[in-house]
Chain A
Amino acid sequence: MKIRVIGHIDADCFYVSCERIRDKRLIGVPTGVLGNQGACVIARSYEMKARGVTVGMPIWKAKKLCPDGIYIKRDFRWYGVISERMRAIFSEFSDVVEFYSIDESFIDFGWKTVYPKLITDWQQSIDAIQKRILDEVGVPVSIGISFTRTLAKLFSDFNKPLGATVILDHESLQKILPQVPIEETSGIGRRLSKRLHALNIHSCADYIAAGREKIKRFLHKPGEELWYELQGKSIFQIRSTTPFPKSISRGGSIWGDHSDTNYIWGFLVRNLERLMPAMWRGGIEARCMTLVLCLSAGGHAALTRALDDYSADFSEYIALMKECFQLLHQENEHYCRVHLYMTDLRPESGKQLSLFSQKNHKELLLRTVRLSTQAHCGNFSLRSGATLFTPVVFKDATSNFEITDIEGKMCF
C-alpha cells in the first residue's frame, strides 16, 4: 500500500530568529520586532510571548508587559534573504515545494510505500532536516508530516519551537484528532469556530463525526473539503507555481496626517513605482486602476478608471492616476493612507498582435533601465521627480523594501 506524504515546515518566531542570526547578543533575550511604523509588535520571541505580549500589540502596551524586552525595527530585505536560503534547502528534498509565506513552506514528498519502520524513518529524516536548517541557515523550524496539507500544517504547530510531528498511520490520527481543538485548523477562524461550537463541534474529531452532509450544509464546499482533508484524504494540492493574480495592489500609511497635495501625490507615485515593477516581473498587464484616499477623520474616497486597452506602461498609469487624484483630492482634507489597485489583469505574453498598435519603445527602454537599476542598486535607486516631495520616506532605506516586495509567495 502507498500513502501520500506531505510536509509543512514553519519557522519558529521567524523575524526574531533572523535578527538573532546577525546579532547573537539577542539569544535568550525577550525580543520583539516592530512593524512598518514602529507602533506594533509584528513578531516576538518565545521569552516575550511568555510575558503575554501578542502579535499586533501596540508598543506602549508591550513595554508595560515586558519592560526588559528589546525592540527591533523590521528589515524585510534581510528576512527575504533568509527565507530564500531556507527554500533552497527545501527544494533539495522534493521538486514540488510551495512557498506559502515568508516563513512557511509545504513539501510534497510524493507517494510512499508503507512498511513497518516508516514512521521512525520519517521522524529521523525530519530531525535531520531541522538540524540542517539550524546549522546552515540558523533558523529553528517546526515540521509536521502527514497525509494532507491541512494535517501537516496542523501538526507542525505541535510542540513549538523545534517541534517534529509525524502522523502517517490512521490509528494515530484517530487518537490525536479528538485532542485538537477545531479552531487550530487552518481555515477555521474565530467567527467560524463560534458557529461550530454552537453545533457542538469542538474538536477535529467532532468535525469529522458531524458528517459530510451537515458540514456541507453549514460551511459549503470549503467546509466539505476540510472534512476530507482532516480524515487524511488529500484535496488541496501543493502548488509549486504562483497562480495568476486577480489583482495587484500597493499602499499603506503616508506617515502621519497630511493635506499637502504634493506630499500625497509623491506617496502615490512611490506606490505606483512599487507596483509597476511587480507587474513587469510577473509579465502582467492591466486595464483598470482604483485609487483610494483614506481620510484622517475616517472614511475614504475611491475612484476606478479604465484604460482603452490593456497596458503595463508606467506613463499611461501615471496619467490615469493623476486624473483620479485630481477628482478625489480635497484641498482642506487631511489624509492618512493611500492605496492603489490594478484589476482586470492578463498575461502580457498572451496578447494578440495587432497591425495598428504601436509599441512605445521609449517606455520599454525605461522599464529595462528601471528594473536593472533596481536589481543592482535596490528599490527606488531610480525614481520619479514627484517623489522629491516625500524626502522623509526615502531617508530610511529599510522602508524601501516591504513584505509585499518579496515575490512568489502564495499568501501575505
Chain B
Amino acid sequence: MCTALLFEKHICLEHELLTHDLQASQEKIIMRLNHRYPVIPIIINGIVQLVQWGNRTNQTMPKTAYCRLESIQAGKWQWLRPQKVEIAVCAGFSKGVWFQVRHGLWGILVYDSKNIPYCYLLMRPSTHYYTIMTGAHRMPLLINQEL
C-alpha cells in the first residue's frame, strides 16, 4: 500500500498551508498516512487544494485511505457520487521505497453530509515491476505513467 506521498510546497496556496500547519515545512512536503491530519493536494478546476486524505473518524464515510479500482467499477461507491480527481504529487512511498510519480495520481473526491471533502487514492493490482520494486500487491493509479 502507498502510505506516504511527497509534494511540492510551492504548488499549494499560502493560506491552505497555514490552515494545515504546513507553512514551516521544507520545499517538499512528506505527508504520511499516520499524520495527525493527513492532507493531499488535488486539482479542482485548475486550482490546487489541500483535501483530507481518506477518513479515520467519520462514521458515515468509508474508513480507509484507498479506493479499489474494481470496487468503483462495480459501483460500490456510487452512493457517495465520487468525482475522479488528479492528485498533484511527485513521489509515493510503498513498503520502504519511494517511487517517482511523473504526472500525478488518480484519486476520487467525495463529500460527507456536512459537505466536507475527502480524497481516496485509487488503487489497482500491482504490475510485475511494482511488485518486485516494492513488494506490494496493490499500487496507486498513475497518470500517463507505467510502473
In the complex, A38→B132 CA distance in Å? 6
Inter-subunit contact B127/A63 (CB<8 Å): no
Interface residues of B in 124-143 (CB under 8 A from A): 127-130, 132-133
Q: How many A-B pairs with Cβ below 8 Å? A: 56
CB-CB under 8 A from A72, the residues of chain B are 99-100
Inter-subunit contact A396/B98 (CB<8 Å): no
CB-CB under 8 A from A71, the residues of chain B are 97-100, 133
Which of A63, A256, A392 makes the CB contact (< 8 A) with B97?
A63
Q: Is A59 an interface residue (CB 8 A)?
A: yes
Query: How far does the Cβ of A19 sit from chain B's closest Cβ, in whole Å?
Result: 8
Give the dominant DSSP class at B's interface.
mixed
Q: Which residue from chain A places its CB closest to the CB of B133 in the assembled complex?
A: A38
Query: How far does the Cβ of A298 sit from chain B's closest Cβ, in whole Å?
Result: 20
Known pairs A23-B102, A38-B133, A67-B96; A397 contacts B90 (CB<8 A): no
Q: Is A217 an interface residue (CB 8 A)?
A: no
* Total number of A residues with any Cβ neighbor in B under 8 Å: 26
Known pairs A38-B132, A396-B128; A73 contacts B98 (CB<8 A): no
Inter-subunit contact A73/B91 (CB<8 Å): no
Q: Which residue from chain B places its CB closest to the CB of A66 in the assembled complex?
A: B98
Query: How far does the Cβ of B105 sit from chain A's closest Cβ, in whole Å?
Result: 15
Give the contact-size bracket for chain B: 10 to 19
Residue from A22, A25, A69, A398 having most chain B Cβ neighbours under 10 A = A25
Which of B28, B90, B129 makes the CB contact (< 8 A) with A73?
B129
Give the dominant DSSP class at A's interface.
mixed
CB-CB under 8 A from A241, the residues of chain B are none
Inter-subunit contact B97/A59 (CB<8 Å): yes
In the complex, A392→B102 CA distance in Å? 22
In the complex, A64→B28 CA distance in Å? 21
22 A-B residue pairs with CB within 8 Å = A23-B100, A25-B8, A25-B28, A26-B100, A34-B133, A37-B128, A37-B132, A38-B132, A39-B132, A39-B133, A59-B97, A59-B132, A59-B133, A63-B96, A69-B98, A70-B98, A71-B99, A72-B100, A255-B128, A256-B128, A396-B127, A398-B146
Q: Which residues of B contact A (CB under 8 A)?
A: 8, 28, 90-91, 96-100, 102, 127-130, 132-133, 146-147
> Would you list the 9 A-B pairs with minimal beta carbon distance, nearest first?
A38-B133, A38-B129, A38-B132, A72-B100, A70-B98, A63-B96, A25-B90, A39-B132, A37-B132
